[in-house]
Amino acid sequence: MTPPDALLWVATRCFETGPRKGLGLAVSGGGDSMALLHMLGPEARARGLRCRVATVDHGLRPEARAEAARVAAACARLGLSHEILDWRGWDGQGNLQDAARRARMTLLAGWAERHDLDAVALGHTRDDQAETVLMRLGRGSGVDGLSGMAKARGAGGLTWLRPLLELRRDDLRRWLEERGLGWDDDPSNTDPRFLRVRARAALKAIEPVGVTPDGLVATAERMALAREALEHLADDLSSRATRLACGAVAIKAEALARAPAETRLRLVSAALRWIGGSVYRPRLGALRAALDGAATARRTLGGVVLEPWRGALWLSREIAATGPAAEIGAPWDGRWIVTGPVLPGARIAALGPAGLPQCPGWRELGVARAALLASPAVWQGETLIAAPCAGRGGAWSARIVAGFPYRVLPH
């Protein structure tokens, strides 16, 4: 058991290196998140930091609205602003908990942006970490997966914090009870249809053979250290062998072949996600097969073309996977912004095989053809106006919103 004062000290350490503009608290009304609210909310106010609270209603249980109202009442007593974020996107297909989690993070990120918050705190505990590692063991995860959830993770200018990750669920509930603070138990947390619930039960069953929550958390901590070292190696390889061109990634084939397998896979996986926009790493078997095949021939994976060209492995967006046409200034294909003069009826779409021949100097650019075909172009009807990546930019320019995750060679 952790002493109550120590619980509060652990939870509030996130303020030392955390939010500067404003802090968001994601509070469902369960025990963990209510502890988060009552630990961090008053501390934020005491530090003069703006703090807002959000509850996501997934529209899956009729009781959820009343639970959100009780969170709102608790926030009012603490002098904190509260907002309910609604999700009604479940179509009954696929993994419900995964879909709900991704929707929750998207809603919270948008909420944080609207209110100029630079960090959002989540209520994950030490128990959640152990369950996560166990589930990932079952999926055959590698170092990254077994490193579990991070205490702090930056994405898109927002930091996701998990201040309770070192604390046990039972200790947090005891802390609430000692202060006369209530919470709501979500019935889905005991529904065996969900993998996390089964993992929670399995943890109790395997403790007699020495597999304990503490042991799984210790594994996650060791794996996080290993992940940091592997990321350093991938970054070093990228800095010596990778260049970016027209939204594509070119990696020197010789340097890639000499690198250890894990470093090679890590760099190529990062390139695939950066180009294709996938949230998740490709499956190991598919990644290995694509990388091995691309040493001598063209391959595709996750909306990305892999092909050998001029001594490098080129990874380019697959033209068939590019997004629909977009208006000037709006994101296209989830990664490009194209700007230029006001032109009625202009739209952004892939340059494609109809547009590339209209860029006579494209062969001298030193860029793989697949990359240019999938690059953004300005069209007015069927007329090509500009192709900023293919040497026909004029007054138009194109840029990629997200930076590559590793260092690269200078242009």
The binding site for ATP comprises: 28-33
Q: Which residue has the tokens 């579990």?
A: 148
Backbone angles phi, psi at 340, to 5 degrees: 175, -165
For 142, 241, 316, 405, the CA distances from 236, given in Å and listed in that order, are 21, 9, 22, 12
Structure tokens at 69: 């109202």
Binding residues: 28-33
Provide DSSP, 116-164. Answer: T-SEEE----HHHHHHHHHHHHHTT--HHHHT---SEEEETTEEEE-TT
Pairing of strands 248-252, 51-57: unpaired
Residue 147 CB partners (closer than 8 Å, separation 6+): 220, 223, 224, 226, 227
Other CB atoms within 10 Å distance of the CB of residue 160:
22
Query: What type of residue is 275?
Result: I
CB 304 within 8 A of CB 315: yes
